[in-house]
Amino acid sequence: MKRKRLSELDRRHATGYVARLVLAGFLLVAPTDEAASQADTLRYNLDSAIRRALEASPEVSAVAARRDFASARAGLARASRYLTEFTLTSAHAPAPGLDNPNGTATDQLFLDPDVRNDWGSLRPFNEVEVEFLQPLYTWGELDGNIRAATSAVVMEDASIRDKEIDVAYRTAELYYGLLLTEALTVVVKDAGDIVEQAKEEIDRLLQEGAADVDDADLFQVLITEQEFKRRVVEVDEKRRTAATALRRQLFLPDDVTVAVDEVILSQIRLEPETLEWYQELAMLHRPELERANAGLAARRALVDVARSNYYPKIFLGGRFRAAGTSGRYSQPNPYHGDRLRGTSVEAGLGVRLGLSFHQTRARVEQARAQANEVGFQLDGLRQLILFEVEEAFRGLSIADAALTSTHEAYRLSKEWLQMETVNFDLDLGDTENLVKAVRANLDLQADRYQATYRYNLAALKLLRSCGMLRQTIDSGILVE
C-alpha cells in the first residue's frame, strides 16, 4: 500500500510540477548545445556580454550618428563667428578690343572721342571678385546660436547614454534568464526522474503480482509520462527561440552558440541604501534629466537669438575686384574707367536692421513659449523619475524579502526531507510524508532560482532608475 501511494503521489507531483514550470514563463534562454563545437561557442560573463551588445548595437550607433550631426552643426555655429560671408566669384567671356584710329596714347584714350569698341576683334575677358562680411556686434545672435548648438550636442550625448542603459538592461535580463533556465533544467530533470521511477516501480510490482497495484496505475503513469515528454519538447523549443534572441541581441553569426561563464544563478550583491540616496543619484545621473536641461538651455538661447533682431547688427564688409582684357588699358582718371579692365577695393563698416518689429515680436514670443514648454516638461520629468526610483526601490525590497523567505523555506525543506528519509529508512516514517517532503524540496528549489532571478531584475531596475546601471557594470561590481 505504501508503494502504491508513493507512485501516485510521485505521478501527481511530476505532472503538476512540470506544468507549473512551463506556465511560469521563465523560458528565456536555452543552454549550450553539447553537439556544438568549441570553435562555434562563445562564452560571456555579464560584463563582456553587455560590452559586446553595446559595441554591436545599431540603436546606439543611430543615436551616435545624431550626435555627430549635432556636433557638426555646433562647429558650423562657431565657424559663423568669423567671416560669416566670404566668397570668390569669377567671370569669363569674350570682349571687344579697341579701335584707336588716331593712335592716341593708351593713358589718354578717354580723351579721344573717336576711340570705339572693336567687335570684330574679340579678346578673352576674365574677372575675379572677392567679398567678405565680418560681424562685429550682433546683440547676442551669434553667441545664442553657438549656445543652442552646443546644448544640442549635450542632448545627444545624454541620448547615447540613455540608449546604452536600455541595451545594457535588456542584455542583462537575457543573461540572467539564461542562467535561470539552466538551473531550472536541472530541476525539470529531477521531476522527470520521479516519473521514470514511478513507472519502473509500477512495472516491478505488476510483475510481482502485487495486489494493491493494477493496470490503471500503469496507464496513469504512462499518460503522465507522455504529458511530461510534451512539456519537455515545449520547454526546449521555447528555450532555443530565446537563445536565438540573445544571440541576435549580441549580433553574432547564426552558426555561433552563446554560453555563459557562470555556473549557477547567483544573487547580485547590491549594498542597500536609503530611498533618498537613490533619488539623489537619479537627480544627478539620469540621462533624461541631462537631456531635458540641455534642451531648456537651447530653447532659452534661441529666445536671445530672436530678441537680437530688435537691434541693429554692426558688421565690417569689403569687396575686391580685378578684371582684365588684352588690348584694353586702365585709364588714370577717377571719373573714367573701363569695366573690362582694372581693379577696385571697397571696405567699411555697415549696419543692418530689420524693420519688421511686429514679426520680431512674434518670433520672440514663439521662442519663449517653446522654452516654457520644455521647462514644464522638465518639472514633470523630475516627479516621474522620483516615482520610478521609489517604485524600483520598493520592488527590490519585495524581491529581497521573497528571496530571503524562499531561501529559509528551502533550508527547512531540506531538513524536513532529511528527517523523513531517516525515519523511512528506520521504518518509522510515513511514505506520504516522505513524498510531500520530496515535492516541497523540488518546488522550493525551483522557487529559489526564480526568486533569485526576480531579485536580480529588481536590482537592475533600481540601478537603471537612478541612472547608475552602466557605471555599476563598468565598475565590475555585478561580476564576481
pLDDT, one tens digit per residue, over 241-274 is 777 778 888 999 988 888 778 778 888 888 889 9
Count of C-beta atoms within a 10 Å radius of residue 389:
26
Determine the pLDDT at residue 224: 67
Q: Is the confidence at residue 24, as pLDDT, over 70? A: no
In one letter, which amino acid is 97?
G
Give the distance from CA 80 to its chain's centroid. Answer: 33
Determine the pLDDT at residue 206: 79
Determine the pLDDT at residue 23: 29
Q: Is 83 left (phi over 0), alpha (psi -120 to 50) or beta?
A: left
**For residues 162-167, average pLDDT:** 94
Say how many CA atoms lie within 13 Å of 97 toward its Cβ: 9
284-333 pLDDT tens trace: 999 999 999 999 999 999 999 999 999 999 999 999 999 999 888 888 87
Determine the pLDDT at residue 212: 62
- Looking only at the bridges linking them, the beta strands covering 85-99 and 116-137 are antiparallel
**Measured between alpha carbons, how far is 298 from 249 in angstroms, rounded to an integer?**
35
Residue predicted with more confidence, 294 or 209: 294
**Measured between alpha carbons, how far is 64 from 277 in angstroms, rounded to an integer?**
31
Find out whether 211 and 57 touch, Cβ atoms under 8 Å.
no
pLDDT band at 127 (very low <50, low <70, confident <90, very high): very high
Domains and CATH numbers, the chain: 2-475 (1.20.1600.10)
pLDDT band at 9 (very low <50, low <70, confident <90, very high): very low
3-state secondary structure of 29: coil
Supply the mean pLDDT for the chain. Answer: 83
Q: Is the confidence at residue 32, as pLDDT, over 80? A: no
Q: Which of 141-150, 184-193, 195-204, 421-430 has the highest mean pLDDT?
A: 141-150
